[in-house]
Amino acid sequence: MKVLRIVAQGVTTSFRYPHFIHGVHPTFEMPPPSTIYGHICSALGKWMAPEGVRFAYLFKFQAKFHDVEHLHLVSKSSGRLEGTRIAKVLQGSVNPFKREILFNPTLVLYINKPEWYQSFHSPVYPVVLGRSQDLFSYTDIRVVELQTSDKAYFENTLAPFDFGLRAGSGYAVLMPKFLDYTRGRAPTFERYYVLRRRVFSEDIMRIAGGKHKFVVDPLAEEVNGSRLGLCFHSFVGDDDNNEFMAFMA
């Protein structure tokens, strides 16, 4: 199966938990699928139909730190600006908060749309991942033929929830899967598993049982005879019914 493979690098990024507003803004350690959707749309220059699009990624960063930012909270007001006859319609206050930031991030993104090759070579909008100020650069864009193998390793990736449970490593997380801009950015949430530490298919199968074929990247580093395994996701619908799953029976 042919996919588009994109390598993007930046200096900082942050993926805010959507339900945190004041005080501290922690970051997800992996970009949510909704962030990947927005990233793809910025390269295409339009809102693309999410149906049928599958993606996988490897995401890593060098360190995590906190920075201080400010929120300007405004509300309706009345009267006039001090010393003038100009009507005062808004008043506000500055609220400092801590934001958790990931340093020196790298994203390797796989999309089942090799025909988008030229769009990523000449993206319509600035390349960002996370906040609008988190600029990225594409360092490698190519179409690759993925392979299947009975051996693989998984690391620094987002896995389907059930697959993560079989891995015996990582942690569960609830992330925004898709924001429907036709319905006022109505969010859809999904459970996933964050796998940062390297795990091998032999260990996964020891827990899950059975024999499986894994989708692997032939360009990735080979470790103990295994290549990087890929966990593909969708933006809408059921991830369990497509050929781009993490493994195939």
Q: How far apart are CA 225 and CA 216, in angstroms?
A: 12
pLDDT at 243: 42
Taking alpha carbons only, the member of 205, 216, 210 closest to residue 246 is 216
7, two tokens: 């390598």
- Our CA angle for 228, 234, 235, nearest 5°, is 135
Beta strands in 112-185 (DSSP E): 136-145, 147-149, 152-154, 157-160, 171-180
3-state secondary structure of 173: strand
Report yes or no: 145 and 189 within 8 Å, Cβ to Cβ. no
Q: What is the pLDDT of residue 207?
A: 54
Evaluate whether 234 touches 178 at the Cβ level (below 8 Å): no
* Separation between Cα atoms, residue 165 and residue 118, nearest integer Å: 38
pTM, two decimals, is 0.88
Positive or negative, the CA dihedral 45, 50, 51, 56 is positive
Please tell me the predicted confidence (pLDDT) of residue 125: 97
Domains and CATH numbers, the chain: 2-66+99-248 (3.30.70)
Q: What percent of the chain clears pLDDT 90, i.e. is strictly above it?
A: 65
Residues 81-140: pLDDT tens digits? 787 888 877 888 787 888 999 999 999 999 999 999 999 999 999 999 999 999 999 999
